[in-house]
Amino acid sequence: MSIAAGAPGLRPEELRAALLSILDFATHAGATAADAVLVQHAAFAAGVRLGEIEKLTDAREKRLGLRVFVGERSALAATADLTRGGLARCAEDTVALARVTQPDPAQGLPERAALATEASDLDLYDDVAAVPSPEDAIARARAAEAAALASDPRLTNSEGAEFSQTAATIAYASTLGFDGGYRSSAFHLGVEPVAVSDGRMQRDYWYARARHLARLDDAAEVGRRAGARTVRRLGARRVPTQEAPVVFEAEVAASLLRHLASAVVGQSLYRGTSFLLGRLGEIVASPLVTVVDDGRMPGGHGSRPFDAEGLATRRTTVIEDGRLASYLLDVYSARRLGLASTGNAARAVGDTPSAAPTNLYLAAGTTSPEAIIASVDRGLLVTELIGFGVNAVTGDYSRGAVGLWIEHGEIAYPVEEITIAGNLLEMFRDIDLVGDDLVFRGSVAAPTLKIRRMTIAGS
Amino acid sequence: MVDSTQPERFFRDRYGVSSGTLEHALGSALARRADYGDLYFEFRTTSAVALEDGLVKKASKNVSQGVGVRVLAGEKTGYAYSDDVTVASIEQAARTAGHIASDVGGAPAVAVRSGRPARDLYALAAPPGDTSLPQAIALLEAVDREARRYDPRIKNVMASLVVEHKLVMIVTSDGTLVSDVQPLARLSMTCIAEDGGVRQQGTYGGGGRQPFAFFLDGDRHLRFTREAARQAVLNLDAVDAPAGEMTVVLGPGWPGILLHEAVGHGLEGDFNRKGTSAFAKLLGTKVASELCTVVDDGTIPNRRGSLNVDDEGTPTSRTVLIERGVLRGYLQDRLNARLTGMPLTGNGRRESYAHSPMPRMTNTFMLAGESTPEEILRSVDRGIYATSFGGGQVDITSGKFVFSASEAYLIEHGAVTRPVKGATLIGNGPDVLTRISMVGHDLALDEGIGTCGKNGQSVPVGVGLPTIRIDGLTVGGTQA
């Protein structure tokens, strides 16, 4: 099997030329300042189900996002039309749009002195990403699914396995004279087997992700993990409504950090939509909790040499031994809060920059996951959460859960159709054990966590 | 300027794609032995205006274009797309997608015939894309004023108006070419209320395939705003929600998200062909109480979830999913209908040219019953009355689903008493509708704010529900 060689994307100097050109057009149209981002990516994915090829996808895209300022007024645009005429029209339209919006003195580009000055290689790119091998992709997906299905006779069906790879170039320039770019790649392998027993079905999922193909977990190992996760859910039942300790597996513990992230990003604070509003310097979590955002981890899934406004990324301690030490800010939210940007600006092409975590993690503790489970007399180990039951303003938390019931320090049986509820502020304060199993499987990571007490609703 | 009335001509003129180009590309896509191929052209303009702190300081215009080529061979799908819409890139994508079919063997030549959908469910004299920025700014300023006027405890208002104008052209190896103009508008707002150190939020909004005037009609924008403000202020006094299984009454309209999660996804053709849905093989069996008839209807004029044709060119329709408690149908796209020998229902949808279609819902709702909402509430000794929800999610294999209330009350001795904090409700899809013991006569569709996510693709949808009583659903509050 072969695949046609993809249309070559634009070369770095062509991307740079498009950015500089649209900034010029914007300036000529009357913009007092502007910045622009260009993202070009090529992606390939192979899906396999029950051993057969199910889907091959080949993608090529490029998009340019422009932000212009006319004094204290601003507007945004996105386009895929990179012809000179297209760029000129986009710039003129956007400047015209900006003239009609209302002024906001906090808007604008960063101070020139704050801009990143040196290029840095954070080990984000693997050349292999730009040259997909369909045979290899199919083989990896097949191997992962086959290993999953072979791991237990009750695994008789599957939603399939998928291998995907993406190669991207990100370029950014502004009228301050900043002009930079970098490449990044990502490889992903996921499997979702289905187990059947006594006429009831369960599914679960496991995956691997890496910026370098050679560092991607072995396909068979990914498959076996997916199989084991699925089979252990068979025979799940409900438990009675009660209060009990709740242990979050590392994979779901990361979701608690995502909720925390949405409460410490600048826009949530100046808008008043964060349960951590006004708590800087206060104790907001157990002394066992230290949370760090590090944009410069080599090979990190959330690493980038500079942020979406041209500021160097950095390492920011968000929570230190339970105390809220810093928010995560972009230039605008920092100005609104009277603080300095932490280099956390991110932007979807065509949207305004806003603050977002880079690589956010809860530092590993000293207790093994096994010891954490053994410490629970009666409680819940959560292995999957569903739903959106989190109120960002109050921190009120109520989500559907799947997991394993713990009796006398041992896994007793699987549970489902229950919810766990509490308040995020209290939950972070009630963390009484932190696992030693921190692994970066994405840009947000946490080890196994135990929360002293939550409400479990069931039968 | 986009000629809204002639999408086919627009694509031909702008990108130079002639009938010859299209036929040649389909020929390339089907050069190996494939069952079916299609080309999907899209040109979309999205304009957004947002207000916060009383200022409309953000306006954006996002133009996207692209072509997606799909080839089906047995259960296999080859998909290639590009934002570079040229004859060369279309050919390239067609050849790439065609590699999914492994057998060598020529395809018959395709002759393409042009057509427009037989009806227009959203012919607008003034598409929302024609809205001027000053009009949009005035609308959002009125929203801000109304929220603050409603109650002095409203401390911040965030509102946005998003207007989309989408032209599509779908060309299939059956020889049909169909094009459509799909307008979409949405106004949404979040109010933050604060009182004595307690803060809460309320969110509301609506829209559809409607003109800008829709929002001003009867001061709809102000009514939406008062709803958001009312909810924010109400929740300031909310007490902790109870935990455990109890009787739940759902109000009309948006609580229809229950149907979307509990049964809708589980009835999509792909999961049922693969046998991974908890509803697989249940066709013709009883999955709900006799009071329940549930339909998916993509043909309601101007609704957010409606389409003239789905994203595979099939006219949308009204599909009865559950009839008086009995499971009657699944939602299909071409791939799954063909493989299972089921009729097409016009539910093959995709987020954009960058995605291949899947069976998806349109507007999903339960038909009205006979009870009055008052008698339903009066019948409950102790339970929860939920009238507004955030999002929901389902595990289609185990059948377990959740949806999270954003406005709910205790029912005590047949009376609605105190508001309770938002809580997630969890249940089992194939089982929950069997517990419906009363259905109100007050069917309402939602205001037009729903977006459904599946396998990473988002599409606009609608839901609807009359007031219903469910005898036993787990409420995930904190008061055990």
Q: Give me the domains of chain B, ranges plus CATH numbers.
A: 7-236 (3.30.2290.10), 243-476 (no CATH)
Per-residue pLDDT of chain B (480 residues; tens, 9 = 90+): 445 568 899 999 999 888 888 999 998 888 888 899 999 999 999 999 999 999 998 899 999 999 999 999 999 999 999 998 988 989 988 888 888 877 666 566 777 877 777 789 998 878 887 788 999 999 999 999 999 999 999 999 999 999 999 999 999 999 899 999 999 999 999 999 999 989 999 999 999 999 999 999 999 999 999 999 999 999 999 999 999 999 999 999 999 999 999 999 999 999 999 999 999 999 999 999 999 999 999 999 999 999 999 999 999 999 999 999 999 999 999 999 999 999 999 999 999 999 999 999 999 999 999 999 999 999 999 999 999 999 999 999 999 999 999 999 999 999 999 999 989 999 999 999 999 999 999 999 999 999 999 999 999 999 999 999 999 999 999 998
pLDDT in tens, A341-389: 999 999 999 999 999 999 999 999 999 999 999 999 999 999 999 999 9
Q: Is the pLDDT of residue A5 over 50?
A: no
**pLDDT reported for residue B19:** 87
Q: Evaluate whether A378 touches A246 at the Cβ level (below 8 Å).
A: no
Element (DSSP H or E) covering residue B439 = strand B436-439
Query: What residue in B sits closest to A271 (Cα-Cα)?
Result: B156
Tell me which residue in B60, B423, B474 faces A75 most closely, judged by beta carbons. Answer: B60
Give the best residue of B137, B389, B426 to mutate against chain A (max A CB count within 10 A). Answer: B426
Q: Evaluate whether B257 touches B218 at the Cβ level (below 8 Å).
A: no
- Rounded to a whole number of angstroms, the distance from the CA of A118 to the nearest CA of chain B is 32
Tell if the CB–CB gap between B57 and A74 is shorter than 8 Å: yes
Query: What residue in A sits closest to B59 (Cα-Cα)?
Result: A75
Tell if the CB–CB gap between A60 and B83 is shorter than 8 Å: yes
Which residues of A are less than 8 Å from B427 in CB distance? 417
Tell me which residue in B81, B422, B474 faces A59 most closely, judged by beta carbons. Answer: B81
pLDDT in tens, A258-288: 999 999 999 999 999 999 999 999 999 999 9
Interface of B with A in 349-408 (CB under 8 A): 354, 356, 390-395, 397-398, 400-404
Query: What residue in A sits closest to B430 (Cα-Cα)?
Result: A200
Q: What are the backbone angles phi and psi of residue A220, rounded to the nearest 5°?
A: -65, -35
Query: What residue in A sits closest to B420 (Cα-Cα)?
Result: A396
Give the best residue of A279, A332, A336, A396 to mutate against chain B (max B CB count within 10 A). Answer: A396
Output DSSP code: residue B254: G
**pLDDT reported for residue B2:** 46
Query: What residue in A sits closest to B47 (Cα-Cα)?
Result: A77
- Rounded to a whole number of angstroms, the distance from the CA of A67 to the nearest CA of chain B is 9
What are the structure tokens assigned to B148, written together?
A: 């603050």
Q: Is the pLDDT of residue A7 over 50?
A: no
B78 close to A (CB below 8 A)? yes
Of A166, A134, A181, A170, whose CA–CA distance to A349 is shortest? A170
Q: Evaluate whether A311 touches A114 at the Cβ level (below 8 Å).
A: yes
**pLDDT reported for residue B106:** 59
B113 close to A (CB below 8 A)? no
Give the best residue of B83, B189, B261 to mutate against chain A (max A CB count within 10 A). Answer: B83
Interface of A with B in 50-109 (CB under 8 A): 52-63, 73-81, 90, 93-94, 97-98, 100-104, 107
Give the best residue of B336, B397, B454 to mutate against chain A (max A CB count within 10 A). Answer: B397
Query: What residue in B sits closest to A275 (Cα-Cα)?
Result: B199
Of A363, A255, A366, A364, whose CA–CA distance to A315 is shortest? A363
Q: Evaluate whether B71 touches B29 at the Cβ level (below 8 Å).
A: yes
Tell if the CB–CB gap between B83 and A61 is shorter than 8 Å: yes
Tell if the CB–CB gap between B57 and A104 is shorter than 8 Å: yes
Strands (E), B258-362: 294-297, 318-323, 326-327, 348-349, 358-359
Name B374's Cβ contacts closer than 8 Å, sequence gap at least 6: none
Which residues of B are less than 8 Å from A102 in CB distance? 55-57, 137
- Rounded to a whole number of angstroms, the distance from the CA of B202 to the nearest CA of chain A is 10
Write a three-state SS string for chain A: CCCCCCCCCCCHHHHHHHHHHHHHHHHHCCCCEEEEEEEEEEEEEEEEECCEEEEEEEEEEEEEEEEEEECCEEEEEEECCCCHHHHHHHHHHHHHHHHHCCCCCCCCCCCHHHECCCCCCCCCCCHHHHCCCHHHHHHHHHHHHHHHHHCCCCEEEEEEEEEEEEEEEEEEEECCCCEEEEEEEEEEEEEEEEEEECCEEEECCEEEEECCHHHCCCHHHHHHHHHHHHHCCCCCECCCCEEEEEEECHHHHHHHHHHHHHHHEHHHHHCCCCCCCCCCCCECCCCCCCEEEECCCCCCCCCCCECCCCEECCEEEEEECCEECCCECCHHHHHHHCCCCCCCEECCCCCCCEECCCCEEECCCCECHHHHHHCCCEEEEEEEEECCCECCCCCEEEEEEEEEEEECCEEEEEEEEEEEEEEHHHHHHCEEEEECCCCCCCCEECCCEEEEEEEEECC
What are the structure tokens assigned to A227, written together?
A: 């199989």
Q: CATH 3.30.2290.10 occupies which residues in chain A?
A: 12-228
**A-B C-beta contacts closer than 8 Å:** 279
- pLDDT band (50, 70, 90) for residue A120: confident
Of A299, A162, A155, A153, whose CA–CA distance to A219 is shortest? A162
Over chain A, what is the mean pLDDT?
Answer: 95
Tell if the CB–CB gap between B404 and A97 is shorter than 8 Å: no
Q: Evaluate whether B409 touches B391 at the Cβ level (below 8 Å).
A: no
**pLDDT reported for residue B6:** 84
Q: Alpha carbon of A409 to those of A134, A369, A373, B22, B333: distances in Å?
A: 47, 12, 6, 65, 49
- Rounded to a whole number of angstroms, the distance from the CA of B301 to the nearest CA of chain A is 30
The predicted complex's ipTM stands at: 0.94
Distance (Å, rounded) from C-alpha A231 to C-alpha A221?
A: 15
- On whether the A12-228 domain is CATH 3.30.2290.10, my answer is yes
Which residues of A are less than 8 Å from B84 in CB distance? 7, 60, 80
**pLDDT reported for residue B104:** 61
Mean pLDDT to the nearest integer, A323-332:
98
Query: What residue in A sits closest to B77 (Cα-Cα)?
Result: A55
Query: What residue in A sits closest to B1 (Cα-Cα)?
Result: A89
Query: What residue in B sits closest to A388 (Cα-Cα)?
Result: B391
Which residues of A are less than 8 Å from B82 in CB distance? 7, 59-61
Other C-beta atoms lying within 10 Å of the C-beta of residue B22: 22
**pLDDT reported for residue B33:** 82
- Rounded to a whole number of angstroms, the distance from the CA of B353 to the nearest CA of chain A is 10
Q: What are the backbone angles phi and psi of residue B283, rounded to the nearest 5°?
A: -55, 130
* CB-count exposure of residue A100 (10 Å: 0-12, 13-18, 19+): middle
Distance (Å, rounded) from C-alpha A263 to C-alpha A327?
A: 9
Tell if the CB–CB gap between B404 and A418 is shorter than 8 Å: no
DSSP state string for B14-53: HH---HHHHHHHHHHHTSBS-SEEEEEEEEEEEEEEEEET
Which residues of B are less than 8 Å from A458 in CB distance? 244-245, 474
B427 close to A (CB below 8 A)? yes
What are the structure tokens assigned to B281, written together?
A: 């093989």
Interface of A with B in 299-338 (CB under 8 A): none
B216 close to A (CB below 8 A)? no
Q: Is the pLDDT of residue A3 over 70?
A: no
Interface of B with A in 148-187 (CB under 8 A): 155-156, 158
Distance (Å, rounded) from C-alpha B348 to C-alpha B339?
A: 14
